[in-house]
């Protein structure tokens, strides 16, 4: 596992080796970066951001649980799916029209490609 912080380029990345991928997924790494590291970095406290990020990574690897509840992705209403995605709340006629539009575009490209 490698934590890369480049303050001049405003980049943060957590790289995980193949052995840890099932335990420390890309989604969990992104959540740690967004919820714990980035807020501290924005305040100029890089030490605190790295410490909290590494502590969350170690806790995840030791199986002591996920991020704290306040660090979980927030939802702006509606029922969030299993990956935390909130689908737009459209009435059924608009859903049908949207689906027809998307499948129409796919069909158009299929016809043009052959």
The reply to whether 58 falls in a domain is: yes
Domain total of the chain = 1
Which one is predicted more confidently, 7 or 67?
A: 7
The reply to whether 56 falls in a domain is: yes
Q: Residues of 81-109 as b/e, b for ≥16 C-beta within 10 angstroms?
A: eeeeeeeeeeeeeeeeeeeeeeeeeeeee
The reply to whether 61 falls in a domain is: yes
Confidence at residue 26, expressed as pLDDT on a 0 to 100 scale? 86
The reply to whether 84 falls in a domain is: no
State which residues form the domain around 31.
2-73
* Domain containing residue 23: CATH number: 3.10.310.50
Q: In this predicted model, what pLDDT tens digit does every residue of 72-94 receive, in sequence order?
A: 444 444 445 555 556 667 788 88
The reply to whether 102 falls in a domain is: no
**What average pLDDT is seen over the chain?**
80
């Amino acid at each position: 596992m490698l934590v890369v912080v480049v303050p001049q380029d405003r980049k943060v990345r957590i790289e995980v080796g193949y052995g840890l991928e099932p335990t420390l997924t890309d989604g969990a790494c992104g959540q740690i970066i967004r919820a714990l590291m980035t807020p501290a970095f924005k305040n100029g406290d890089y030490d605190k951001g790295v410490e909290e990020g590494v502590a969350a990574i170690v806790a995840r690897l030791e199986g002591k649980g996920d991020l704290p509840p306040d660090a979980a992705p927030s939802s702006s209403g509606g029922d969030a799916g299993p990956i935390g995605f909130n689908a737009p709340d459209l009435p059924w006629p608009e859903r049908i029209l949207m689906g027809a539009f998307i499948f129409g575009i796919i069909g158009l490209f299929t016809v043009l490609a052959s």
